Structure 1
Amino acid sequence: MPEAIDTVAVARLYGEPLFQLPLDLYIPPDALEVFLEAFQGPLDLLLYLIRKQNFNILDIPLADVTRQYLSYVEQIRQHNLELASEYLLMAAMLIEIKSRMLLPPKKTEDGKEAEDPRAELVRRLLEYEQIKLAAARLDRLPVLGRDFLRAQVHIEQSLTPRFPDVNTDDLREAWLDILKRAKLNQHHKISREQLSVREHMSLVLRRLQGQRFVEFENLFDVTRGQAVLVVTFIAMLELARERLLEITQAEAFAPIYVRLAYTQV
């Protein structure tokens, strides 16, 4: 083996240098083909011929376009008959349209001029061109894997600990537990309040002065605490025992009213 292998080897096969081509190597004639223009179908070829020569798509010179179209179909038919079959269908349509244009136009049943034989072909070409332009705009958008790659960063698990998600029920239980402990640590200051039943009896009588009826619950001042409510109720019962006021009710479960016993109705 010579030392300068890369300078004399004609090829490499599986990493090994080849110094001469195999004698039994067969290369088919169509192994390498160069297409200067690639078309996606008959409409694509037809649109290319029209736009390349700046023809008006609404007034296609059908003879010139058909001649160029058939010339291209003849070339691809010699190499790929299966591919040429769909192009031959469009060629037959072009010839049929051209033959209809050579005939004198016939009016429709309602007396109107007949539609241009090229109208349907023009509609298909315009729709195809719109779809092709939209596809080209979409293809120009950045595509993952073609125009950019997704950044991937590997982070050690030990550097980013995974904390468990907190359930709302667990959070509520924790809050209630804090409230419970706060109540256990509250300081209570107990003071003695001097309350007189006689004094509250006088207050009740003054409250009823000039009133025909007063609803039972309106005689209590709920803002002064539970002790005051109890003393007020005892004062009311004491006044009722001494027949100084009357507690009445129109019917069962009806509101309870209080009035002075000596009030003239």
Structure 2
Amino acid sequence: MLPVQAAPGAPADSGLVAEHDPASHDAGLNAAADAAEASIARLYGEPLLRLPSDLYIPPDALEVFLDAFEGPLDLLLYLIRKQNFNILDIPMAQVTLQYLEYVEQIRQRNLELAAEYLLMAAMLIEIKSRMLLPKRQDDLVEDAGDPRAELVRRLLDYEQIKAAALALGALPQEGRDFVRPQLFVEQGLAPSLPDVDPWDLQRAWLEVLRRAKLTQHHRIGRQELSVREHMSAILRTLQAQRFVEFSELFAGQGTVPIVVVHFVAMLELAKETLIEITQAEPFAPIYVRLAYSPA
């Protein structure tokens, strides 16, 4: 027991005493534990003893599905594999009955979800009916095949796709199995310039020179040439000599345009029968002379 002095202003004979009682402390802890056990949930760390009056819980919120199927083929494949049936020889009667039981459970809870399952059930019943019908004489001649063949093909394809999807899902996926590390790099305010090697500068300069050589300019000049003047020059040359070889007639003419005009002038003289172009035999030298006139 610890004596405590009275507060200022209180009577001196009040005799206030603070006493630590272990039993009362244990009782408080037990009451807190009972309240925690009686709570149905915790809201922000505090025990919630009863549900709020305005709380709405949807009817399907607490529904638990033990077996989830992706569709009619998934359910049908599950029933076949569960009972170790041969998928190439499906006992349609047993599978159809089990399938219809599951569809009936779905129909009672969710009619929209059961629509596609009902379609598969109708297909199973149709296949079983075709197997039970007696074959006619024309059917015996032309065998239409097993009615289950198309269903078996669809089941095998679905099983392969499902196995491939499971294999892909088992691969590590970013965001689910691992996270890419991210590193923050603080960039300085001063710009960092790259180091330039002298050889890099030399290669850049050589590349500039190579591109400059690819760019060339061709200037076209205009030169006035007269065919009549060249015709007169050819006639003066032939008057001094009796025969002139073809190549000698173009000697000293200079540039290509002048040679072309000189050749055109020679053709004009031949056209006007003022000159003759002769050759003694094939591949022999060609000679030019003035045309013979009896006058």
Matched, 1:104 2:131: no
Q: Does 1:61 find its partner at 2:91?
A: yes
Alpha carbon RMSD of aligned pairs, Å?
A: 3.7
Q: Does 1:120 align with 2:120?
A: no
CA distance in 2 between partners of 1:6 and 1:99 (Å): 66
Distance 1:114 1:165 in 2: 81
> 1:8 deviation in Å?
2.7
Query: Contact conserved, 1:39 with 1:45, CA < 8 A, in 2?
Result: yes
Aligned partner of residue 12 in structure 1, secondary structure? strand
1:89 matched to which residue of 2? Answer: 119
Deviations 1:91-116 (A, max 9, x none): 01100111010012357789431111
Written as runs of structure 1 = structure 2, the 5 A alignment for 1:164-243 is 171-172=201-202, 175=205
Q: Secondary structure at the match of 2:113?
A: helix
Instruction: Read off the aligned partner of 1:121 and give its amino acid letter.
Output: L
> 1:146: Cα distance to partner?
0.7
Count, aligned residues: 179
Confirm or deny that 1:42 pairs with 2:72.
yes
1:8 to 35, 40, 56: 35
**Alpha-carbon distance between aligned partners in 1 of 2:251 and 2:138, rounded to the nearest angstrom:** 95
Alpha carbons of structure 1 residues 33 and 63: separation in structure 2 relative to 1, 3 Å: same
Q: Distance in 2 between matches of 1:37 and 1:173?
A: 71
The structure 1 segments of at least 4 consecutive aligned residues displaced by more than 6 Å after TM superposition are 2-7, 107-110
Select 1:152's aligned residue among 174, 182, 187.
182
Residue 12 of structure 1 deviates from its aligned partner by 3.2
The 2-side partners of 1:127 and 1:50 are apart by 15
The aligned amino acid for 2:102 is Y
Tell me the CA shift for residue 83 of structure 1: 0.5
Q: Distance in 1 between matches of 2:195 and 2:107?
A: 68
Post-superposition Cα deviations, 1:211-261, rounded to whole Å, max 9, x if no partner, equal: xxxxxxxxxxxxxxxxxxxxxxxxxxxxxxxxxxxxxx99969xxxxxxxx
1:57 and 1:5 mapped to 2: Cα distance? 62
Identity of aligned residues (%): 71
CA deviation profile, 1:105-146 (whole Å, cap 9, x unmatched)? 357789431111111111111111111111111111111111
By relative contact order (CA 8 Å, sep 6+), the higher-ranking structure is 1
Matched residue type, 1:102: L
Counterpart of 1:146, as a letter, is R
Deviations 1:56-81 (A, max 9, x none): 11110000000000011111111111
2: CA distance between counterparts of 1:115 and 1:14? Answer: 68
The alpha carbon displacement at 1:172 in A equals 4.9
1:72 maps to what in 2?
102
C-alpha deviation, 1:159, in angstroms: 11
The Cα of 1:174 is off from its aligned counterpart by 6.2
Residue number in structure 1 paired with 2:4? none
Structure 2 CA distance for partners of 1:88 and 1:110, relative to 1, 3 Å: closer
- Residues 90, 56 of structure 1: alpha-carbon distance in 2 compared, 3 angstrom cutoff: same
TM-score (norm 1): 0.57
Query: Contact between 1:69 and 1:91, CA under 8 Å: does it hold in 2?
Result: yes
Letter in 2 for 1:8: A
Find the structure with the greater CA-based Rg.
Answer: 2
Q: 1:59 to 1:17 in 2, by over 3 A?
A: same
Q: Distance in 1 between matches of 2:106 and 2:116?
A: 11
